[in-house]
Structures are given as C-alpha cells and as structure tokens.
C-alpha cells in the first residue's frame, strides 16, 4: 500500500508553476534518467488496471535552478497499444514548493476507488491530458485526451515535455476544444460538450492543479485568462491569514478565491479577476468561493476529495 500511495501522487501543479507560468518559460533539461523493468526486485507495486512494462525516473531542471523528479510508466492496453502515464513527482530543491503531497496522494487514491465503483457503462472522461493519463492507467476508463500538443509549450521547453508526456499529439483539435470549453460560460460549454458527445455518457474531472496549466490553455485559446495567483506565509493567526487573502482577492478582482496548502509554511491562493471568469466552466467546477454555492445545472457532482477539494468528478446529466 505504501508503494501504491507513493505512485498515486499527483503531478504537483504548484511545483509545475515554476515550469509552466507564462512569465517563466526557462529552458528545461533532463539531468538524470533511470529505467526499471517490470519484474525487477525494486520495481514498485502498482495497483493499476494495466500492467506497467517500464518505469522511468527522470529529474528535470530549469535554467533558474528549480528541479523536479517525475515518474513515468510505459504500458500497453488490451489491444497492444502503447501508452505513457506521467506520475509521482518529487521536489529535489527546497526552493520549489510542492503542493501538500500527502493530501494529493490521498485524493488520487480516493478518486481511483470511486471511478472503479461507478457503473460500467460506455462513457468517456474529459480532463486535461496529465490527469487523463493517470485515470486511464489506474482505472482503464476511456479518456478523451492522452497527449498534449506541441503548441501548448514554449519552444524552450517542448523537447522535455515531449519526452515526459510520451509524445505530442498531431491532432490539436480535441485539446483546443477542451481548452475553449474550460474558458467558456459553463452553460454554453455543457451545450457544446453534449453536442460533441451526442450518444456517449460524459464525465468531467477537474483538479485544482489544472490552474498550473493556464499557460497551456492560453496558448490554445488565445484568450486572456481570468485567474491570478499569489503565495502567502502561514501565520499563527488563521483569521488574519484569511483576512489577507480576502483583501487580496478583492483587489482588481471579484473577491472569489481558492486556497491550497503547498507546504507547512505556505499556501497558494487563486483569485478570479472578472465576473465572466466566475462563470467559466473551469471556475465553476473548482471549489472557488463563488462556485461552492452555485452548482452547475447539467452537472452532477460524483466525488470531491477531502480535505481541500483537490479533485472534483462530475457526470453530465440532463439540465433541469
């Protein structure tokens, strides 16, 4: 179980901010790479739907000296098609905050169990490419996106992301559609999704760590992104900390915010910068303060991880 929990650790979006925020884009390189073959003594136990053939441990560094360790599994499905799943990063430099790893591990483990308990009906799961890779590997669920496209990333980072993700998709249409739906008014986005998947049951998975992928979404949509982020030091007085976040969330913004603990001494807060941003599918699916009391007509919440609401799983249903 210990090995399973370690592998289920999410690719930490808070750490990935250092590699993906639009203002950053430092050149990336893979400094270390280790390959483990299935059956080896030190190959981890994986409670996955598919049998992993190989596991790669890779240490990636950027020009600004931040490092992150990734684990990548290579596996085949029932038809013999080879897939990649990017899992389990570890912080290797103290300057890079990693979002509360224990909560992440617990959240993904809970989600995996929940998906396995759902009715075995024909369905497709929509989520960002890295979430989808893990869901497919651990549950066998049909997912819409399994690879990113090159245009999501700055040229200085493309070669590394291509290796980490298992390659780039030659079809940008599906990724662009999903990015556009995330930034659309939620009601209009659901209509577009239902039009795309007329006869297929659809589930949506949103992660707070998807906010670390905003540069990828912006690259596909060419639209302003209505979210901003800031880190806060955790004070002894929790009420004082919340007051700071609330004041910041109202500065050139709507007052709607979301908090995630990223270390014993820090939290990261996100705020929504426009009223239209509060109505986007992405904002409505995540536990922003403006979204918690405003459920989406046409989406049934199947699961939300605790504590913190890192992961939210929805079923698309008929609007009332």
Residue 302: which residues within 8 A CB-CB, separation 6 or more?
A: 114, 118, 203, 313, 314, 315
Q: Residues of the chain whose pLDDT is less than 50?
A: 1-15, 17-19, 21-23, 90-98
User: Is residue 212 a part of any domain in this protein?
Assistant: yes
User: Is residue 302 a part of any domain in this protein?
Assistant: yes
What three-state secondary structure class fits 292?
A: helix
First CA to last CA distance, the chain: 42
SS3 content of the chain, % helix, strand, coil (to 5): 35, 30, 35
Residue 21: which residues within 8 A CB-CB, separation 6 or more?
A: 212, 214, 215
What three-state secondary structure class fits 67?
A: strand
Euclidean distance between CA atoms 293 and 134, whole angstroms = 30
pLDDT the model gives residue 65: 67
User: Is residue 286 a part of any domain in this protein?
Assistant: yes
pLDDT the model gives residue 13: 46
pLDDT the model gives residue 11: 40
> Which value, to the nearest 10 degrees, does the dihedral of the CA atoms of residues 210, 162, 10, 72 take?
170
- Residue among 204, 13, 178 at smallest CA distance from 115: 204
Euclidean distance between CA atoms 169 and 95, whole angstroms = 33
Strands 227-233 and 201-207: unpaired
Q: Count up the domains in the chain and report the number.
A: 1
Joined together, the tokens standing for residue 112 give 């995996």
Which domain covers residue 231, as residue numbers?
A: 97-316
User: Is residue 62 a part of any domain in this protein?
Assistant: no
User: Is residue 72 a part of any domain in this protein?
Assistant: no
User: Is residue 36 a part of any domain in this protein?
Assistant: no
For residue 86, the cross-strand partners are: 72
Residue 138: which residues within 8 A CB-CB, separation 6 or more?
A: 8, 47, 48, 49, 85, 112
User: Is residue 55 a part of any domain in this protein?
Assistant: no
User: Is residue 64 a part of any domain in this protein?
Assistant: no
């Amino acid at each position: 179980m210990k090995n399973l929990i370690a592998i289920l650790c999410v690719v930490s979006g808070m750490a990935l901010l250092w590699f993906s925020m639009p203002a950053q884009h430092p050149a990336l390189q893979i400094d270390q790479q280790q390959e483990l073959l299935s059956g080896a003594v030190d190959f981890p136990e994986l409670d996955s739907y598919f049998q992993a053939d190989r596991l790669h441990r890779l240490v990636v560094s950027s020009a600004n000296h931040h490092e992150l360790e990734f684990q990548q599994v290579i596996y085949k499905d029932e038809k013999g098609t080879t897939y990649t799943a990017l899992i389990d990063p570890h912080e290797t430099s103290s300057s890079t905050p990693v979002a509360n790893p224990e909560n992440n591990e617990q959240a993904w483990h809970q989600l995996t169990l929940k998906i396995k308990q759902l009715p075995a009906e024909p369905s497709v799961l929509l989520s960002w490419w890295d979430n989808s890779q893990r869901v497919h590997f651990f549950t066998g669920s049909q997912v819409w996106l399994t690879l990113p496209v090159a245009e999501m990333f700055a040229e200085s980072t493309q070669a590394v992301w291509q290796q980490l993700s298992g390659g780039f998709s030659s079809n940008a249409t599906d990724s662009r559609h999903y990015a556009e739906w995330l930034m659309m008014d939620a009601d209009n986005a659901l209509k577009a999704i239902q039009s795309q998947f007329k006869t297929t049951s659809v589930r949506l998975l949103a992660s707070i760590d998807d906010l670390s992928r905003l540069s990828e979404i912006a690259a596909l949509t060419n639209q302003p992104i209505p979210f901003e982020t800031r880190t806060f030091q955790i004070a002894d007085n929790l009420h004082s900390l919340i007051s700071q976040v609330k004041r910041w969330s109202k500065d050139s913004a709507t007052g709607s915010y979301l908090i995630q603990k990223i270390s014993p001494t820090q939290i990261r807060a996100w705020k929504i910068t426009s009223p239209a941003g509060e109505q986007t599918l992405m904002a409505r699916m995540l536990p922003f303060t403006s979204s918690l009391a405003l459920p989406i007509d046409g989406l049934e919440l199947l699961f939300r991880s605790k504590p913190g609401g890192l992961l939210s799983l929805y079923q698309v249903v008929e609007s009332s």
